[in-house]
Structure 1
Amino acid sequence: MLGVLGMTLLLSSCVSQKKYAELESKQKETQDLLNSATVKLNTCLEEKATANSRLQTLEDQNAFLKANNQELINNMGNLTTLTTKGAENLEKSLESLKEKDLTIRKLQDAITRRDSVNLALVQSLKGVLGNLDDEDIEISVEKGVVFVSISDKLLFSTGSYTVTQAAKNVLGKVAQVVNNKPDFEFMVEGHTDNVPYRGSNGVLLDNWDLSVKRATSVVRILEKDFGVAPARMTAAGRSHYAPLVDNNTSDNRAKNRRTRIVVLPKIDQFYSMIEEGMKDPAINN
């Protein structure tokens, strides 16, 4: 019985070790699986954290892009407004430039017409006065104005404001031209040298008086003897304050003693030229 019992115990012990080995093997396998699962879990957790971080970054970027997009939309609206205003301003500027260019062309046309009239006037004056000595009479155009300068030796005696009989022939020729140009006004200017006036007639005080009296004498001759309308004339005296040359020699003083007729287009006539230019289809087109 003891032997049988011993055999029984021995067999029982052998079976338990086998199962133990199997269990141990299964435990190891399970542990390996657990370790593998743990590694995978940690990997997943890391990937999740990375994904969460990336998600947050993307969300931040999305929010930034949305805000940026809204700002761009606002800027586009402002830019559209500015562009519209800029286009309107540009259009106004172009229109203004067109108007200015048109005005300039109209003025140029009026000036061209005025210059043409002045040229015709100069030719007429030279036609009737061309046989005179250039030292005694000079015709010129300066800044759109026609000047007829007559030396005093043709018009007056020394220190006198009485027009000589010979001078009336010259003034008659000038009157012939200006009477044919009713659209012009003119001013008669008396000029002296710088030698002080020493007359004793009690009428004249100085060169101012002498220059003015000489101008009025010419105006009266043109009016009474040659029918020039007095409303078209102005008499002025410049004394010795507008010399042609220095009063340092007798010849120079002789040049400065002169009577100058300044022929002027009427202001309203000049504006009429401009208005006519405005109506000119060649300009308006």
Structure 2
Amino acid sequence: MAETQMGVCLLAHTQLSMEFIEQLFKDDAIPSDLLESMAEYTSGQAAALTAIRSCYSPNKPSEIVAKEGERYFGSKATDGKAGTETDRLIRLIVASGHTSTLEHLTFTFAIEGVSRALLAQLTRHRVGFSFSVQSQRYVRMGTSDKTGGFDYVLPESIKEKPAGKAFFETAMRDAQEHYDVLREIGIPPEDARAVLPNAAACNLVLTANLRSLLDFYSKRRKGMGAQHEITVLAERLKSAVVGVEPWAEQLFEKGYV
């Protein structure tokens, strides 16, 4: 049993398929200017452009990047803001509320060392979110089990007060002892877990689309009244998304969610 820290790792995210890329290069159909600009855009941008323009273009979805990419990726934004015409188009679509087109971009995260209290809050975001959570029923949390006991998350407000921290740590040790005793007298893990606290740490895999992540961030970012731990998670998820799709940072800003 020990205090633990949050970990967030991006496992996977939207990537263009080899079939699409091969079709894109078929018969040297791509204009030379687009070839030069291709290094500047991401798979997510290509997917977003394809989804958005599919709603308004006479071209087939498989043709949009090849036939319209030069216009959108090869030109500076005409709204006077940063980026290319693709960025302008995405800003326009988001401002108009047509954000369903962003649901085609997905991100999968490995999230570790968060409290069950955070998990309860996180799972309230159901639309566009998929969860696979470490089970306290099947993963045994006894001192003599492989886990060595349950880890826990120490809230910042308690960490700042030595007396509070000492009392909290005593409560964690008591919970572990009670769990161990229940297991020793034959209580199954699924029932013994009832004495484990909200602070008990858990791990999960989360997959969410970009639209849902933007909505999550707008509600759980710092300054919106959310609990500290989940505000940290909101920033970590945002950072992971922006790390692979830098253009998406503008969408997390106030006014785009």
Same fold (TM over 0.5): no
Q: Indicate the structure with greater helix content.
A: 1
Q: TM-score, normalised by structure 2?
A: 0.21
Larger Rg: 1
